[in-house]
Amino acid sequence: MSRDQRQSVHLLEIPTARLPLLTPSATVAEVVNFKEIGPLPLSPDWVIGVLGWRAHAVPVVSFEALLAGVPPPPGARAKVIVFYPLPGRAKGEFFGILSTREPVPRVFDEATGLVPNPAGPVESAFVATTVRLGEKTLLIPDFEALKKAFYP
Residue-averaged pLDDT of the chain: 86
pLDDT digits (tens, 9 = 90+) for 6-21: 688 889 999 998 889 9
Q: What is the pTM of this model?
A: 0.86
Q: How confident is the model at residue 24 (pLDDT cuts 50, 70, 90)?
A: very high
Residue 1's pLDDT is what?
44
Backbone dihedral angles phi then psi of residue 15, each to the nearest 5 degrees: -70, 135
pLDDT digits (tens, 9 = 90+) for 35-65: 888 888 888 989 999 999 999 999 999 998 9
The answer to whether residues 21 and 64 touch, using CB atoms and an 8 Å cutoff, is: no
The answer to whether residues 16 and 77 touch, using CB atoms and an 8 Å cutoff, is: no
Greater pLDDT, 70 or 113: 70
Q: Averaged over 136-150, what is the pLDDT?
A: 89
pLDDT digits (tens, 9 = 90+) for 102-142: 999 988 877 666 666 665 666 788 888 888 877 888 999 99
The span from the CA of 97 to the CA of 63, in Å, is 7
Percent of all residues in the chain with a pLDDT value above 70, rounded to a whole number? 88
pLDDT digits (tens, 9 = 90+) for 81-113: 999 998 888 888 999 999 999 999 988 877 666
Structural domain boundaries of the chain?
Answer: 11-150
Question: 11-150 architecture in CATH?
Answer: Beta Barrel (2.40)
CA angle 93, 99, 102 (to 5 degrees): 110
